[in-house]
Structure 1
């Protein structure tokens, strides 16, 4: 009997394939998402003021040095969360205003957007904290203005479909102003008793809808 090992089939694998290592980029992305999730939860519990990088690192199961590889400071985390909120809001505004073709559709879409935004601020402490934090941080304030310009541009496009003869420059300026005043209205509403807050939001909607009607444009 031959002692030579049997020849291996050309098609049969020699051993079971080893489990593939998770790509570095994917693992990094997962860590970023974990950091943001932990930060969001802590902000929802006690606001961004007491938020500490050391506590985030401990809860994420990583060293403070590893955390700094992803976010150099707490402001960087807050800016990233603000960018995510802004992107979600922009998508919502786009979807809501895209079908608008008539005055009635414009009024309905605008009112719904304002009410939904107000509702989110009431329900989500993270968004509320970010909106108030934009007052004190110059980079966040610049981000808010950029978001208002982008949202105002979407509103201007919807108004232009309803009122195609509107003056373009006046319309762009007015839509930007309407949207930024909306941010200020929400901050004022959050600082006010619930009943008064509702009245402020409703007053803002009435004023804005009057402003975006001819002959002002």
Structure 2
């Protein structure tokens, strides 16, 4: 039997505008896409409708974004960059366990407010789950964000095994993303309660490392 030639997958190429007019048009496209996602959901996002609302031809739109996935990816990348900046800024000055406790708590509160202020993010997340490449992007971002948290945890708990800390930080951050999605899908009061519950759970793991380091985890409970 003749050997089947492997299929070559060519990924779409996004245009990187350099001129002011092109950058403004790209921003307009992304703004319109965000509005449509917020009102209709990512599943109902259509390139033809984006072009119509931007008053450009579909051919012009494809010069900037070759398909719907590339639009969603760009929006997700921007959101990820903003989130990463918040993490770095919140954790930069942490030097001890109490500081980590306070900074992580404040970071989750700020992160939740950012998500609440960006109603399209829930549907952008949903659109990413239906695309393997976008799912890989999300996983990669969780690793990066988890790595930022792990670096601070190692600074606070230098005696811990790096692999253990990295695994905990990666899991905490990835579950945190899932918590935010769930929280903004619920009524505001319930959503806030879910964020607070996750905060307690994750801080027990983070602060538990300090207890283990000092030998408290294996100590007999006080009677």
Please list every run of 5 or more consecutive structure 1 residues that lacks an aligned counterpart in the other structure. Answer: 1-23
2:35 equivalent to 1:41: yes
Q: Which has more radius of gyration?
A: 1
Q: Hey, what does 2:3 align to over in structure 1?
A: none
Q: How does 1:160-175 map to 2 (within 5 A)?
A: 160-175=154-169
What TM-score comes out, normalization by structure 1 length?
0.82
How many pairs does the alignment contain?
A: 194
1:49 partner SS: helix
Please list every run of 5 or more consecutive structure 2 residues that lacks an aligned counterpart in the other structure. Answer: 1-16, 214-223
Is the Cα contact below 8 Å between 1:100 and 1:106 reproduced in 2? yes
What TM-score comes out, normalization by structure 2 length?
0.80
Q: Hey, what does 2:100 align to over in structure 1?
A: 106
Determine which of 121, 129, 132 is the counterpart of 1:127: 121
2:12 equivalent to 1:25: no
Q: Hey, what does 1:185 align to over in structure 2?
A: 179
Bigger CA drift: 113-122 or 143-152? Answer: 113-122
Please identify runs of 4+ aligned residues in structure 1 that moved more than 4 A. Answer: none
Q: How does 1:1-217 map to 2 (within 5 A)?
A: 25-26=18-19, 27-213=21-207, 214=209, 215=211
